[in-house]
Amino acid sequence: MKKQLILSLALLSAGAVWAQTLRLQPDNIDKIIENLTLEEKARLLVGRENSESDKGVPGAAGVTQDVERLGIPAVVLTDGPAGVRIAPTRPGDSHTYYATGFPVGTVLACTWSPELVENVGRAIGEEVLEYGCDVLLAPGMNIHRTPLCGRNFEYYSEDPVVAGTIAAAYVNGVQENGVGTSIKHFAVNSQETNRIEVDEVVSPRAIREIYLKPFEIAVENSNPWTVMSSYNRLNGTWTQSSPELLKTILRDEWGYDGLVMTDWTNERRPSWERVAAGNAILTPGHDWQETDIIENVKSGRLSMDDVDEQVRILLEMIVKTPRFKKYQFSNTPDLDGHAKLTRRAATEGMVLLENRDNTLPLKSTGKVALFGKTSYDFIAGGTGSGDVNKPYVVDLMTGLTNAGFTIDRRLKEYYQAQKNLVDKTNAISGERNRLNEPKLSKRNIERLAQENDIAIVTIGRQAGEGGDRQIEGDFNLTSDEREMLENINDAFHALGKKVVVIMNMGNVMETASWKGLPDAILLAWQPGQEGGNSVADILTGKESPSGKLTMTFPVAASDIPAVNDFPTGSGSRHGDHRRNVDYTLHNEDIYVGYRYFNTFGKPVSYPFGYGLSYTDFEYSKPVVKATADGFTAQIAVKNTGDIEGKEAVQLYVSAPGKDMEKPALELKAFNKTRSLKPGESQTLTFHVKAKDLASFNAAESQWQTEAGKYEVKFGASSSDIRATASYNQKKVLTAKVNDVLKLKRSLTPVSQHTSK
């Protein structure tokens, strides 16, 4: 008896000692889960606002919770796509924590250069690491369903192949630093109006081909540590509570094995349901959510298996983090090196829209009449969680001065007196209330034309998270802007002097009604903290523009296929089932962007894929060869001009269209030359898989590549096809998928009420 007692006491104390020494390791996660209490598991699955934890980084978006007993640390989640979003200063700390303000998503996409985007991602990832964070809540990669969504600046394109490819490059770059990313917002977060509640009503075909496809490409071509489930509902079900989306499609079909976290919703939605659906972190996180999980496990509504599955996924992510590895971060990332990178990267995403009589590059620096309030208050990025606390922003006035131009002093002083009146108080919508363009009399403008060599005019637009754009006064030019532009044009052209317009915005605006006025238009987008220098580098020819549009510029808002199925900035949070507020019908189906305009022959102001260069390029006869799983294509591009430049070549395919209704053409691949000197050429190679030619047959719930002759088109844009070839798909390919995310409301597809 005594021996047994001694033995059991010895075992107990050994167990206690062992339990105390049980610490999370990559190879003991099962053991840890066995030792976690239900309360601890619930704690792990529910995050906290960064401000509510002493384990975070000031200003970061949030943290997970720790379980010190088992050596499970809290990890830090921080925004955002254009750079690390943390507080730039800390009370009692003389060090500063500014992060580089990189170009926004639209700029990165318009470079058409995954290599450049990976380099930017790598730099952002270094700042995530050195500022002590673990997961960057980026890239934002929702489709530009219309130009009116407030957050388009954070996203990439109207086209799924561009969006997915650029997102994958961004993820690979960031994660080279040993930190994580979060591809967001999964899925169909197509509007900001009532984004927390809205039910996005979409056909299964459009869901698969347009809205999920970018995420599928990103998962296939990178390995994002996390996915962020979006706020909205999709066909009646919260995406955050949809196992069909988060498990059946994301994991069973696509093979994703990372972590899903929710977007930051404080709505009292069933927390147990969101864990069961496949979220491993409920953010921002409140104690009532932990209670909800515990109570529903005890009631049997939430299985412990579901809880353990998500805890395992979370711990597998945690053991990869710098925080778990106790990385000694420096708080001194390479901000100087990144400033140089962002300056150059921005120039590669800017798009030259007009350049009459080779106005640009400017032959010499001289005296500039710099118009437009935004010239003196340049917009580096959008508002909301996608904004970055940058060390500075180089405005256009400074950039031009740095480049050796002389800015008209009186005009500068006039605008600078106006500048401080911009309402920057509200992080989400404040900057959108930018003052109307200050008025200048015709006589003043005529005097300025006398006294200066050239007019440069900036048109600025701001938008961001939490609200969509208006058509009047936002998408369209304001009457003040139009009057200013016309008066400047008259005055300077009367003296044979040039007018250059700089568009400083994160999204599309109306251009058709005024683009004939100036001699040149450069779409600078929201180019990050070095914006003014980047624009000057293009204007002076130090950098040659090679950006191309990854979205369509329509002639008018009324031409946008979804314009009647989109909120125009109105919207309530809790409407009474108001259309475009509480539910939004995607009647345009798959006909988003150029898929609509090219298929239905609608004219546009600037087409998808469009962008001028300072030089010209010639495309050779392409060579297309069938391979075991599709085809490869080669084409040589030659610089036939007298200025060095790069050319982004787009490969479109027009399907036979016998088995289903198809868009006139679809982008299937793209490539970009290195910088080619005059006379130089480069052969570009493209690989296209037959499965990527497939359309989604909803009736059969299968991807379907029809047999027959496909036209292969090499475009300088979607409307400027320079060379064609063909590819013969010998047999039909099909791939069954789960028949999920079913439509619960009827749609009237645009093809039924739009004549071809």
Q: Report 699-738 residues binding ligand GLC (CB under 6 A).
A: none
Using CA atoms, how far residue 474 sits from 148, 254, 485, 511, 665, in Å, is: 9, 39, 16, 12, 31
Q: Looking at residue 677, what DSSP letter applies? A: P
Tell me the C-alpha distance between 57 and 428, whole Å.
Answer: 21
Cis ω on the peptide bond leading into residue 518 (within 30° of 0)?
Answer: no
- x/- track of binding to ligand GLC for residues 429-468 (CB under 6 A): ------------------------------------x---
Q: Is 102 or 614 the residue whose CB approaches ligand GLC more closely?
A: 102
Is 159 a residue of the active site?
no
Facing residues of 725 across strands?
712
Residue entry with tokens 């690491």: 129
Tell me the C-alpha distance between 390 and 124, whole Å.
Answer: 13
Q: Report 536-565 residues binding ligand GLC (CB under 6 A).
A: none
**Nearest alpha carbon to residue 123 among 500, 476, 529:** 529
**HEC assignment per residue over 625-637:** EEECCEEEEEEEE
- Residue 160 CB, nearest approach to ligand GLC (Å): 20
Q: Is 306 or 465 the residue whose CB approaches ligand GLC more closely?
A: 465
Q: Is 231 or 610 the residue whose CB approaches ligand GLC more closely?
A: 231
Residue 419 buriedness (CB in 10 A; 0-12 / 13-18 / 19+): middle
- x/- track of binding to ligand GLC for residues 159-198 (CB under 6 A): -------------------------x--------------
Q: Is 264 or 710 the residue whose CB approaches ligand GLC more closely?
A: 264
672 binds ligand GLC (CB under 6 A): no
- As a whole number of Å, the CA-based R_g of the chain is 27
Q: Residue 697 belongs to what H/E stretch?
A: strand 695-697
Cα dihedral 389/186/348/359 (nearest 10): -100
- Residue 263 CB, nearest approach to ligand GLC (Å): 5
Q: Is 195 or 548 the residue whose CB approaches ligand GLC more closely?
A: 195
- Residue 561 CB, nearest approach to ligand GLC (Å): 25
Cα dihedral 395/396/397/400 (nearest 10): 130
One residue of 29, 42, 57, 61 binding ligand GLC per CB under 6 A: 61
Q: Is 182 or 615 the residue whose CB approaches ligand GLC more closely?
A: 182
- x/- track of binding to ligand GLC for residues 613-652 (CB under 6 A): ----------------------------------------
Backbone angles phi, psi at 209, to 5 degrees: -80, -30
How open is the CA angle 650-521-167, to the nearest 5 degrees? 40
Residue entry with tokens 């994991």: 251
Please report, as a single letter, which amino acid is at residue 366: G
Cβ atoms of residues 722 and 713 within 8 Å: no
Tell me the C-alpha distance between 285 and 290, whole Å.
Answer: 8
- x/- track of binding to ligand GLC for residues 63-102 (CB under 6 A): ----------------x-----------------------
Q: CB-based contacts of 753: which residues, under 8 Å, 6+ apart?
A: none
Q: Is 192 or 543 the residue whose CB approaches ligand GLC more closely?
A: 192
Q: Is 79 or 453 the residue whose CB approaches ligand GLC more closely?
A: 79
Tell me the C-alpha distance between 147 and 592, whole Å.
Answer: 11
Neighbouring C-alpha atoms within 13 Å toward the C-beta of 402 = 16
Using CA atoms, how far residue 438 sits from 372, 398, 446, 515, 650, in Å, is: 8, 20, 16, 21, 41
118 binds ligand GLC (CB under 6 A): no
385 binds ligand GLC (CB under 6 A): yes
- Residue 196 CB, nearest approach to ligand GLC (Å): 9
- Residue 79 CB, nearest approach to ligand GLC (Å): 5
- Residue 259 CB, nearest approach to ligand GLC (Å): 15
- Residue 85 CB, nearest approach to ligand GLC (Å): 8
Starting at the edge strand found earlier in the chain, the sheet holding 406-407 runs 351-355, 520-523, 498-504, 454-460, 367-371, 406-407
One residue of 137, 449, 477, 536 binding ligand GLC per CB under 6 A: 137
Burial 133-167 (b: 16+ CB within 10 A, else e): bbbbbbbbbbbbbbbbbbbbbbbbbbbbbbbbbbb
Helix axes 160-175 and 213-221, enclosed angle (nearest 10): 30
The sign of the torsion formed by the CA atoms of 302, 187, 138, 267 equals negative
Q: Is 41 or 184 the residue whose CB approaches ligand GLC more closely?
A: 184
- Residue 230 CB, nearest approach to ligand GLC (Å): 8
Q: Is 240 or 615 the residue whose CB approaches ligand GLC more closely?
A: 240
Cβ atoms of residues 341 and 123 within 8 Å: yes
- H helix runs in 512-587, sequence order: 531-539
Residues in the interface with ligand GLC (CB under 6 A) total: 8
263 binds ligand GLC (CB under 6 A): yes
- x/- track of binding to ligand GLC for residues 481-520 (CB under 6 A): ----------------------------------------
Q: Report 37-56 residues binding ligand GLC (CB under 6 A).
A: none
- Residue 76 CB, nearest approach to ligand GLC (Å): 12
- Residue 462 CB, nearest approach to ligand GLC (Å): 17
264 binds ligand GLC (CB under 6 A): yes
Please give the structure tokens belonging to residue 239. Answer: 């995406």
530 binds ligand GLC (CB under 6 A): no
583 binds ligand GLC (CB under 6 A): no
Tell me the C-alpha distance between 333 and 244, whole Å.
Answer: 41
- Residue 503 CB, nearest approach to ligand GLC (Å): 25
Starting at the edge strand found earlier in the chain, the sheet holding 708-717 runs 666-672, 648-654, 708-717, 720-729
Q: Which residue among the candidates 159, 199, 263, 468 is catalytic per the annotation?
A: 263
- Residue 305 CB, nearest approach to ligand GLC (Å): 29
Cis ω on the peptide bond leading into residue 80 (within 30° of 0)?
Answer: yes
**Nearest alpha carbon to residue 463 among 157, 189, 153:** 153
Q: Is 58 or 438 the residue whose CB approaches ligand GLC more closely?
A: 58
Q: Report 673-702 residues binding ligand GLC (CB under 6 A).
A: none
Q: Is 193 or 203 the residue whose CB approaches ligand GLC more closely?
A: 193
Q: Is 426 or 685 the residue whose CB approaches ligand GLC more closely?
A: 426
- Residue 422 CB, nearest approach to ligand GLC (Å): 24
Binding site for ligand GLC (CB under 6 A): 61, 79, 137, 184, 263-264, 385, 465
> Which positions are annotated as active-site residues?
263
